[in-house]
Amino acid sequence: MVNILHIDSSPRGERSHSRELSKEFVSAWRAAHPEDAIAYRDLGHHPVPHVDEAWIAASFSPPETHTPELTEALKISNQLVNEFLAADRYVFGVPMYNFNIPSTFKAYIDQIVRPNRTFAMDAQGLRGLVQGKKAVIITARGSDFSATSPYAPYDFQEPYLRTIFGFIGLTDIQFINANSLNEGDARSKSLAQARVEIQNLIDQW
């Protein structure tokens, strides 16, 4: 049995393309692998808090030195990290906002990128501790940010996500990017292509 963590980050509801596509991926996966366990977190409608000074102090100090205030500061983060580490695979639905990710998803990333939990700093240098896992990231973009597009240099979304997840050791990442969603006829073609990529990935993931 495989444990999958499915996360949506769009604040939109039924009008969200990233939600629609991530749901289709998970539904297709469940149909093909009914024995797998799927946990769901909706960051768009139920955001997690941003890190604050107490969180930073607690995160970068030994647990045995924590005051009740510092212990409480990491309570939500510990829950999120435990949930993240319990999964074998991840399905993320992420819209592009201002060439990058929504603040809801950035807040989540800041909560789970934790010293001695998801990465280590020691005599061996910086090491990612999240090993042997896979992720698929389904993005929704208003314009065309594909490699041959003149807007490609403005895509800070995929490079950032590859970098930050790679930092914690998660390097087996597949992207399904739905581009041109604000461009009329191109939208239908892009969504159709994303659905083809979803099915292809279901068959080999």
Q: Give the closest residue to 204 by CA, choosing from 174, 177, 178.
A: 174
All structural domains of the chain with their residue ranges: 3-204
Q: What is the pLDDT of residues 168-185, one digit of tens each?
A: 999 999 999 999 998 878
Q: How far apart are CA 58 and CA 141, in angstroms?
A: 36
The yes-or-no verdict on residue 200 having pLDDT over 90 is yes
Q: What is the pLDDT of residues 103-149, one digit of tens each?
A: 999 999 999 999 999 999 888 889 999 999 999 999 999 999 999 99
Q: How far apart are CA 43 and CA 51, in angstroms?
A: 15
Q: How far apart are CA 205 and CA 199, in angstroms?
A: 10
pLDDT for 26? 98
Q: What is the pLDDT of residues 1-42, one digit of tens each?
A: 999 999 999 999 989 999 999 999 999 999 999 999 999 999
Strands 89-95 and 119-122: unpaired
What is the percentage of the chain residues whose pLDDT exceeds 90?
92
CB 157 within 8 A of CB 99: yes
Which H or E run contains 136? strand 134-140
Half-sphere exposure (Cβ direction) of 34: Cα atoms closer than 13 Å: 1
If you average pLDDT over residues 62-66, what whole number do you get?
Answer: 94
Confirm whether pTM is higher than 0.75. Answer: yes
Q: For 3-204, which CATH superfamily applies? A: Flavodoxin domain (3.40.50.360)
147 phi and psi, to 5 degrees?
-60, -30
CA 59, 65, 67, 71: dihedral to nearest 10 degrees? Answer: 40
Q: CA angle, corner 20, sides to 158 and 113, nearest 5?
A: 40
pLDDT for 84? 98
